[in-house]
Amino acid sequence: MPVLCAVVREGVQMQKGYYKEMTLVCKCLLTYLLIMNLLAFILCGLDKWKARRGYWRVPERVLFGLSFLGGGAAFWLGMRLFHHKTRHWSFRILIPLSVVLWAAIVVLLLMKGVLIA
């Protein structure tokens, strides 16, 4: 949650009486994750739209790849919102796993002090 607090407070977080600012790594990571999640959400909706109309579909390896590259949270939201890929056991297991993986990465970086100066 410290990263989210920092974003809400325009890059500044109050911790133990001191102001701590997000590092360049943190800003780059947040930008990267925002782009990946936006792209994953759009592709989830697009794939559902194409599935309904019988058009060419987005390959599953692209959807999984995008999720494991950081877009898992938005793809998971898109799965629920668009009711897309919710019956496939691989999506029901691997997409949440990608979210847990990225949460662990962020927590590890926070504990190492890489994200907040």
Domain segments of the chain as ranges: 2-112
Q: What is the pLDDT of residue 108?
A: 92
pTM, two decimals, is 0.77
Q: What does the pLDDT look like over 46-84, one tens digit per residue?
A: 999 998 999 998 998 999 999 999 999 999 999 999 888
Length of the chain equals 117
- Look at residues 81, 4, 69, 3 and name the one whose alpha carbon lies nearest to residue 40: 69
Question: Can you say whether the dihedral through the CA atoms of 13, 15, 21, 23 is positive or negative?
Answer: negative
Least trusted range by pLDDT, from 3-12, 61-70, 88-97: 3-12
Quick check: 109 pLDDT over 60? yes
Q: What does the pLDDT look like over 12-34, one tens digit per residue?
A: 444 554 446 888 888 899 999 99
